[in-house]
A and B are shown apart, each in its own frame.
Chain A
């Protein structure tokens, strides 16, 4: 009884599907929070749904809704949201190597290049499992995220004051949760986050709404240009 037949029929396919579906369901449900936050920010139900269907990247969606809620400039809100999506370019570069999508398939694959699909795909042991994991996560998350957005958006209109449900804290809490793993990863990350927040807060009284957040990217630039203390730059003779 201690060790039943250890090897399932198709180990390289069962696990990526399970990983992808469970993460897709868990994260996709947060679409409820986005839908509700978007509508209480002043977007229509269809605008909330269009963002989830076409942009399909949570942080950018929350960011645009946040700027619209605070009455900020739409241009600054759009620029900030797109800038936030730039990390997906990095993910795409890494995924291209593993997934090798071509032609029309690449156009569809691109829509699914986000934090979660990247995390699950790159955690797989081989390219075949990675492709399965990508498809499973993308399909499950896309479906759940969009249905949840619609439900949240429809629900938000019926609950009266969004503040009484604490919906104004959903965005800030979601942003913090998204960067939390990176804050744990290193001192530079914590410093960049602190300076970025300070730059944005400090310039809020002076600049158009939405612009201070874009200005926070200077903290990332400084962090990237600063000499790295922990990682040796040259291939030193000392072997590791």
Chain B
């Protein structure tokens, strides 16, 4: 439990420091187009990786849960239909919940 608190507070401190750094650091740091491009692409790579890992793995092994995959599929459909953020989440969770209630696990 203490370990989790340390992780929570360290994450909060790190995230705050990164925000403050942007307001404090001189503008020319971003002058290099490659630094700027890297900063733009980091969230794309990390969030895609997180989404993939949390969907398709369990611990160190691959685990394809049909209800979870269908839920993510529903999110993709909602995104293609340009649904707002919250509706995308509700569609994903609702689909997985409905399939599990129907006995598909």
Contact = CB atoms under 8 A, between A and B. Distances in A.
Most buried by B among A62, A87, A175: A175
Contacts, number: 319
Contact of A201 (B3, B34, B57, B96): B57
Q: How many of chain A's residues touch chain B, expressed as a range?
A: 35 or more
A172 B79 contact: no
Most buried by B among A26, A81, A166, A198: A166
Interface residues of B, number: 76
A166 B23 contact: no
A189 to B, nearest CB: 5
A166 B95 contact: yes
B89 A173 contact: yes
A2 B77 CA distance: 39
Q: Provide the main secondary structure of the chain A interface.
A: helix
Given A27-B85, A30-B86, A107-B20, A57 B15 contact: yes
Contacts of A170: 89, 92-93
B48 A179 contact: yes
Contact of B43 (A178, A218, A228): A178
Interface in B6-59: 6-16, 18-25, 27, 29-30, 34-59
Contacts of B15: 55-57, 60, 81-82, 85, 88
Nearest to B14: A82
B54 A171 contact: yes
Most buried by A among B11, B39, B59, B89: B11
A161 B53 CA distance: 21
Nearest to B92: A173
Interface of B: 1, 3-16, 18-25, 27, 29-30, 34-62, 67-68, 71-72, 75-76, 79, 84-86, 88-89, 91-97, 100-101
Interface of A: 26-27, 29-30, 33, 42-44, 47, 50-51, 54-57, 59-64, 66, 68, 70-71, 74-75, 77-78, 80-97, 99, 101, 106-107, 109-111, 113-114, 163-180, 182-183, 188-189, 192-201, 204-205, 209, 212-214, 216-221, 223-225, 228
Closest 4 CB pairs of A and B: A92-B22, A196-B45, A166-B96, A216-B49
